[in-house]
Amino acid sequence: MLTYVNDSQYGIPRKCPCGGSIINEVSRKEENDTVPGKRFFTCKNYEEEIERLTKRVVEAEEVMLETTKLSREMERLEEKVQSLCEQVEYLTVHVGRLEKVCFD
Ligand SMILES: [Zn+2]
């Protein structure tokens, strides 16, 4: 907390550490607001940063959804491969029997 107190001695900064300019704001009256009209400041890049992060979250959610779909598809394909292996085994046994009948 000492660093906050120390920073407050310099007032509102002119530039954000990210390089963006500072916007001075006053909070609107909200329900249950104990300090209406309080002043605060944000970085000009704040909205863009929130927008960029929101976009990344949406992209990550799409990837997660796609991963779930691919996982289900893989399970379905594995079952199909298993079924095909059983059919090949069955046919191999029958071919063996037919070869014995025909060529022995
Ligand atoms: Zn900034």
Write b or e for each residue in 30-64: b if 16 or more Cβ atoms lie within 10 A of its Cβ, otherwise e. eeeeeeeeeeeeebeeeeeeeeeeeeeeeeeeeee
| Residue 87 pLDDT | 97
Mean pLDDT, to the nearest integer, of 13-40?
83
The per-residue pLDDT for range 24-36, each reduced to its tens digit, is: 888 887 777 777 7
Distances (CA, A) of 2 to 7, 8, 9, 12, 13: 9, 10, 11, 17, 17
Query: Does pLDDT of 3 surpass 80?
Result: no
Distances (CA, A) of 55 to 49, 64, 67: 10, 14, 18
C-alpha–C-alpha distance, residues 59 and 65, integer Å:
10
| Residue 17 pLDDT | 83
Q: Spell out the domain ranges in the chain.
A: 1-44, 45-104
For residue 57 the two structure tokens come to: 């979250």
Query: Does pLDDT of 1 surpass 80?
Result: no
Q: How far is CA 1 from the centre of its chain?
A: 34
Tell how far the Cα of 10 is from the centroid of ligand 1, in angstroms: 18
The overall average pLDDT reported for the chain is 90
Tell how far the Cα of 22 is from the centroid of ligand 1, in angstroms: 8
Tell how far the Cα of 25 is from the centroid of ligand 1, in angstroms: 15
**pLDDT band at residue 66 using 50, 70 and 90 as cut-offs:** very high
